[in-house]
């Protein structure tokens, strides 16, 4: 059976209904959040990524974020995710044969940060990824009623507050590595507590803290937005947190774009999401914000070219220097590209 997430990497005919010319194609972009995989009855690898990037925007570098792809099956417990790092390092090597195209410049891998042998696991990731290895994402996403979610969570209840987990996040900072996260909006308070507990580690908040809009959260967008604004302000008060701005077009956000006859346009994207983006930028500042694609997951709702058009429309009111930070500079600084 082909999974929903594998189908999201397809939909060529559907996405072709919404082609737009690239706005400001000269703007340099570092896309700090994409995935690659060959699994679940479908694939999205380097050629697929380049096909999407070929929509006309000037994407020069990318950062790969773990998605449980290409794990080793014959290694000691805890070291299986190193296979993903090795796989992506191989894809990056292929990309270097074509320097005129977007290059995979960083890898954020997975490890269970609670493990006592975490140091050895990080050493293995470093050996597999070399200078490309930038950090770890051990996602915290968990909800008591996740059966209605298209993308199933893989975190544990209360993960951010576990002493062993916080110890692991602190070790990342001591090694000069970043911590990426993915969680749901009811977990924002716990994430703020984690950020305060590990002030010497750079934490990257993915996808706005994933404000949900399905299941018991359906029909509550205004109330969730009001509370979310305060939660983001609390998180932004932690100077070690950076924010990735993207991932709001996932089905679990509840907008329903993936169910329409035609995909999302950049004007619709701007109209729907601008308040969320502007609040994040006001809280964190452009020097702590980076635009992300979250591809191919957000491909379920919008094409790559149209997404970046929407982001450029949202960013249009900011200075050229601030736009340069959000489209490329912040990502380079955070991940040391």
Residue 73 has pLDDT above 90, yes or no: yes
Cβ neighbours, 10 Å, residue 51:
12
Q: What is the per-residue pLDDT for 2?
A: 44
Looking at the structure of the chain, the number of domains it has is 1
Q: What is the per-residue pLDDT for 151?
A: 86
Residue 43 has pLDDT above 90, yes or no: no
Give percent of the chain with pLDDT exceeding 70.
96
Quote the tokens at residue 87. 């796989």
Residue 337 has pLDDT above 80, yes or no: yes
Predicted confidence band of residue 206 (pLDDT cuts 50, 70, 90): very high
Predicted confidence band of residue 147 (pLDDT cuts 50, 70, 90): confident
Q: What is the per-residue pLDDT for 152?
A: 85
Predicted confidence band of residue 7 (pLDDT cuts 50, 70, 90): low
* Beta carbons within 8 Å of 47's beta carbon, 6+ residues apart: none
Q: What is the per-residue pLDDT for 42?
A: 77
Report the DSSP pairing between strands 103-109 and 133-137.
parallel
* Beta carbons within 8 Å of 207's beta carbon, 6+ residues apart: 182, 244, 246, 247, 248, 250, 292, 294
Question: Alpha-carbon distance 36 to 59, whole Å?
Answer: 17
Residue 276 has pLDDT above 80, yes or no: yes
User: Higher pLDDT residue, 12 or 334?
Assistant: 334
Predicted confidence band of residue 142 (pLDDT cuts 50, 70, 90): very high
User: Higher pLDDT residue, 7 or 201?
Assistant: 201
Give CA torsion, residues 63, 170, 73, 31, to 10 deg.
-10
Question: Alpha-carbon distance 105 to 270, whole Å?
Answer: 29
Q: For the residues of 26-37, what is the DSSP string, one character each?
A: TSEEEEEEE--E
| Averaged pLDDT, 15-22 | 93
Residue among 201, 143, 192 nearest 172 (CA): 201
| Averaged pLDDT, 2-28 | 83
Q: What is the per-residue pLDDT for 197?
A: 98
| Averaged pLDDT, 25-41 | 90
- The count of C-alpha atoms lying within 13 angstroms of the C-alpha of 104, restricted to the half-sphere facing its C-beta, is 29
| Averaged pLDDT, 303-329 | 98
Residue 39 has pLDDT above 80, yes or no: no
Residue 8 has pLDDT above 60, yes or no: yes
pTM above 0.75, yes or no: yes
Q: What is the per-residue pLDDT for 38?
A: 80
DSSP 59: E
- Convert 294-337 into a string of H (helix), E (strand) and C (coil): CECHHHHCCCHHHHHHHHHHHHCCCCHHHHHHHHHHHHHHHHCC
CATH number assigned to the domain comprising residue 222: 3.20.20.140
The 10s digit of each residue's pLDDT in 159-200 is 999 999 999 999 999 999 999 999 999 999 999 999 999 999
What is the residue-averaged pLDDT of the chain? Answer: 95
Name the residue range of residue 290's domain. 4-335
If phi > 0 it is left, if psi is from -120 to 50 it is alpha, else beta; for residue 211 that is beta
Helices (H), the chain: 4-8, 12-15, 46-53, 82-96, 118-129, 163-174, 188-197, 221-236, 266-284, 304-315, 320-324, 330-335
- The count of C-alpha atoms lying within 13 angstroms of the C-alpha of 312, restricted to the half-sphere facing its C-beta, is 20
DSSP lists the bridge partners of residue 44 as 37
Quote the tokens at residue 192. 């703020």
* Beta carbons within 8 Å of 102's beta carbon, 6+ residues apart: 31, 49, 50, 53, 59, 60, 61, 62, 95
Count helices and strands in the chain by DSSP H and E runs = 12, 10
């Amino acid at each position: 059976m082909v999974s929903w997430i594998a189908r999201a990497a397809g939909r060529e005919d559907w996405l072709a209904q919404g082609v737009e010319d690239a706005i400001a194609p000269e703007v340099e972009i570092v896309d700090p959040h994409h995935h690659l995989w060959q699994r679940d009855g479908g694939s999205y690898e380097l050629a697929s990524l380049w096909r999407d990037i070929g929509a006309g925007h000037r994407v020069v570098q990318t950062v790969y974020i773990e998605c449980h792809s290409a794990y080793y099956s014959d290694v000691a417990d805890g070291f299986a995710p190193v296979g993903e790092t090795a796989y992506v390092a191989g894809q990056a090597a292929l990309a270097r044969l074509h320097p005129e195209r977007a290059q995979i410049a960083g890898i954020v891998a997975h490890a269970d940060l609670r493990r006592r042998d975490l140091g050895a696991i990080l050493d293995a990731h470093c050996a597999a990824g070399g200078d490309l290895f930038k950090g770890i994402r051990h996602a915290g996403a968990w909800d008591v009623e996740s059966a209605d979610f298209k993308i199933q969570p893989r975190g544990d209840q209360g993960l951010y507050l576990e002493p062993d987990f916080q110890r692991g996040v602190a070790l990342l900072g001591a090694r000069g590595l970043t911590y990426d996260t993915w969680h749901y909006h009811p977990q924002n308070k716990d994430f703020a507590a984690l950020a305060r507990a590990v002030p010497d580690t750079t934490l990257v908040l993915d996808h706005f803290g994933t404000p949900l809009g399905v299941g018991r959260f359906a029909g509550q967008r205004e109330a969730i937005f009001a509370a979310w604004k305060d939660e983001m302000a609390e998180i932004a008060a932690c100077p070690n947190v950076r924010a990735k701005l993207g991932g709001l077009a996932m089905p679990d956000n509840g907008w329903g774009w993936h169910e329409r006859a035609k995909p999302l346009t950049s004007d619709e994207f701007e109209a729907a999401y601008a308040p969320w983006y502007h609040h994040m930028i006001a809280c964190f500042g452009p020097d702590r914000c980076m635009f992300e694609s979250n591809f191919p997951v957000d491909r379920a709702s919008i094409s790559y070219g149209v997404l970046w058009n929407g982001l450029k429309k949202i960013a249009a009111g900011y200075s050229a220097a601030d736009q340069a930070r959000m489209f490329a500079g912040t990502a380079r600084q955070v991940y040391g590209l």
